Structures are given as structure tokens and as C-alpha cells.
Amino acid sequence: MKLPISYAILTQNNSNTKQLVENLLKNRPVNGLSELQPLNGLLFSRSEINRFMDEEERHDIKVLTEESGQALKTMSSGEQKKALLKYLLQQNPDFMVLVNPFDNLDVTTQAKLKEQLLDIASNKILVQLVSRLDDILPVTTNFFKLDGDSLHQYDSPDTFWNENKTKTFNFNDTIPLPLSPFEVENPKLVSFKNVSVSFDGRQVLNQINWTIKKGDFWQLIGPNGSGKSTLLSMITGDSHKGYGQDLTIFGHKKGSGESVWDLKQKIGYFTPAVTNKFRGYHSLENMIISGLHDSIGLYVQPTDSEKHLANEWLSLLNLKDRKEDHFRDLTAGEKRLVMVARAMVKHPPLLILDEPTAGLDDVSANLFVALVNKIARESDTAIVFVSHRKEPQLTPEYIYELNPSEKGSTGIKVKT
């Protein structure tokens, strides 16, 4: 039996993915994919999950989880994607558009989804829009690259693979020093001792022991739903679950009076969703300076030394000539570099990066990882890098791994 065609479209940070998806789903003509025009397609993407989550919040309508009734926002990324795929398949579309389907998934869940998608590819047309070459399914027959709005079709798989092999990158300058260094009294920044967490009677974390010291470089890994976000939210003060337990952050026992504001001062935090808060017309220079004031815009006149420092960071990122440009006009990869510089400008004792490379193309992800490695090498800031994906270039000193079980996840420290 002849298998249906499977398309892969490699996207880059400048790709107008949204427009292409809309054209495909609204049956508009797209060069090289004309066979899809009369057909009925559905979308499998993070944005669809967000749309259903929005529906739940605003109108209390549960579409994807009609049977279980669980709120989507309390489910892990893997659970959410599973629910969306099931819902889409029930509608039996002729083709499916998959946008970065493996993002935010742990290795095991990725493997399961891959198997399921390969199965679907045996009787449905798939259009994969992916930013990482590793994510392209082996059944792919037709290859494209989306550059801005223009879709380039390759003559053969070989030409595609040869042209798009990934390059590595390194930064030359050293990272700029802070204006005034943080005084860290206790070199033990975070200490979990036998900390357990339950939600609605279900244990999620079981007797966690984890110490993060000044200057450490950690990667936090664990399958979807193993409790990584829960663990981080106890450190950042966004969850009360740590109260009454043996959890000490920056020398203060959790719940002993330190305000969330004090805590946030000492933690640089970045997750791709944070970027959405900066939709206004902020110049790159002001973006970095605002990191010194923990504000979204800049409401005070910056001093000369603040400006100088911001320019040192922009120079490191090769963006100095564009300091007056608006942050909103940068590519996704450039935005993330600026956001990390903004989070690092004070050299906080702790920098948390939550799935920071999700959705980036290979070149931008390598660049991002190179910056993080550099920060780890050249500063006293401790780093926690959360990711499912093996970032081949990342060089953490330790891995903290969560392993789920019936009684909640236990954690182990692995030296790399």
C-alpha cells in the first residue's frame, strides 16, 4: 500500500508560521502543497491547547477533557497533548498540521507520541512545521523551508539535509560584571530536606532532598508531570506548598517572613512565556536596564553607568548597533538572548531557566545554550536549566532527576 505524503517544513525564527498554518487550514492555495487545498485539516499545536485552556477559564467549557473533567491547566504538557490528539482524531480530518509537536515533552512521552504520529502517518497526510531537525519524522517525503513568508521547496531529501546541517557558535567577549554585586551570606542558596507535596490527596513529590549552592550549574530533568514546575514554584515563592516544611531559601526557612518580593529580587527567572509581557515599544537598551529595576517598562531616567552596562551586554550579544530597536521586532531567538541578559544584568545569586529553548530553531538554541554555558563559567550565579530535550552543547555540572512513582516523584543527583 502506498503511504500518504508526509510534509516537513523547517521553520526559523523569522518564519511566518501563523500565516502558513492559517492558509493551510482555510484551504487557500499554498505552493507545493496544492493537494491539500480541497481537504479538511486540523491543527495540533501548543496554541490550540492554549486556546482550549482559555475557553475553560472564560466560559468553563471543557472540550478536551469532557470525560475526566480535569482542568487543562493542572495537567502536564504530555497529558494535554494526548488529550488534544485524541480529540482531533475523533474528528477524522484528511490531514493534520503539527507545529513543533515534541516541544515540552520528556524523552519517554516524545517516543510514545512519535510512535502514535508514525501510525497516523500511515493513513493520513501530515504537515510538520518544526524548528528542530531532530523532530522530523522518518516517513517524511517532501521537504520545505519557511523563510519569512516564502516557502522554499527542496528537490530531494538529500539537498534538504545537506543544506540545513546545524552549525555551532560561541561568544567572544566575557560577560559584563554587575554594578553592585549581591552579598550572599550563606553559600547554600536552596535546601530541600525531605520535602513532600500533594495536590488533592495525590502525592506529587516524595521526600525531596536537593541543595543548590553558590555558582552551581544544574539541569533539572524529569518526565512530564513529575513535578519540576512545582519544585521551581516553591523556590520562586509562587507556591505555598513549601510552608511548614524543611525548605530553606537564601538562608531563610520557608514561611519565616521573607517576602516574595525579597525572594524575587535574588532570582533571575526566564521561561519563554515571560517574553509575552513585553509587547510595548521597549528599546533593547531599556529592556536590559529594566532588569536592574525589576520592572516591565523603564520609569526612571537611566544613569550613565546603567546605560554603559546595558551596552556591554548588547555588545556581547552582537546587538549593540541595534540598541534603539524595539524588542518586539526581534526574532524569537534574539528575544530570548536579550531576556537572559536582562535576567542576568544584576548577577542574581540564582538564575532559573524553565524550558528556555522550547520552540527555537537549532541555530538559535545552540546560541542560547552557548550563552548559558558562558554565564555558568564566568559568574557566581547558580543556574537551574530545566529541559526535556537533550541539549547536546549544554555543560551542567550536575543533573537533578525526578523519577515518578505511585507515591510521588523521588529525586536523585547525578554528577555529569
- Interface with ligand ATP (CB under 6 A): 74-78, 199-200, 204, 222, 224-230
Q: Nearest distance from residue 200's CB to ligand ATP, in Å?
A: 6
**Minimum distance from residue 112 beta carbon to ligand ATP (Å):** 14
Are 212 and 350 contacting, i.e. CB atoms less than 8 angstroms apart? Answer: yes
Please, which residues bridge with residue 150 across strands?
A: 147
Q: In terms of CB distance, is 271 or 275 closer to ligand ATP? A: 271
List of residues 6+ apart from 62 with CB closer than 8 A: 56, 69, 71, 72
- The residue with cell 513529575 is 226
**Alpha-carbon distances, residue 70 vs 46, 73, 76, 229 (angstroms):** 18, 9, 11, 18
- Shortest Å distance, C-beta 67 to ligand ATP: 16
Minimum CB distance to ligand ATP smaller for 110 or for 229: 229
Bridge partners of 352, per DSSP, are: 269, 384
Smallest distance, ligand ATP to C-beta of residue 68, A: 11
Nearer to ligand ATP, 335 or 388 (CB): 388
Q: At what angle do helices 304-316 and 284-293 cross, to 10 degrees?
A: 120
Task: Compute the least distance from the CB of residue 361 to ligand ATP, in Å.
Answer: 21
Say how many Å lie between the first and final Cα of the chain, rounded: 47
Rank residues 105 and 309 by Cβ distance to ligand ATP and give the closer one: 105
Q: How far is the CB of 108 from ligand ATP (least distance, A)?
A: 11
Smallest gap from residue 119 Cβ to ligand ATP (A): 23
Nearer to ligand ATP by Cβ, of 225 and 272: the residue is: 225
Report residue 224 CA to chain centroid gap: 13
Of 127, 145, 147, the closest CA to residue 137 belongs to 127
Specify the residue, 140 or 226, whose C-beta has the smaller distance to ligand ATP.
226
Q: Are 5 and 14 in contact (CB under 8 A)?
A: no
Retrieve residue 171's grid coordinates.
561568544
C-alpha cell at 384: 537551574
Complex with ligand ATP: residue 94 or 238, whichever CB lies closer: 238
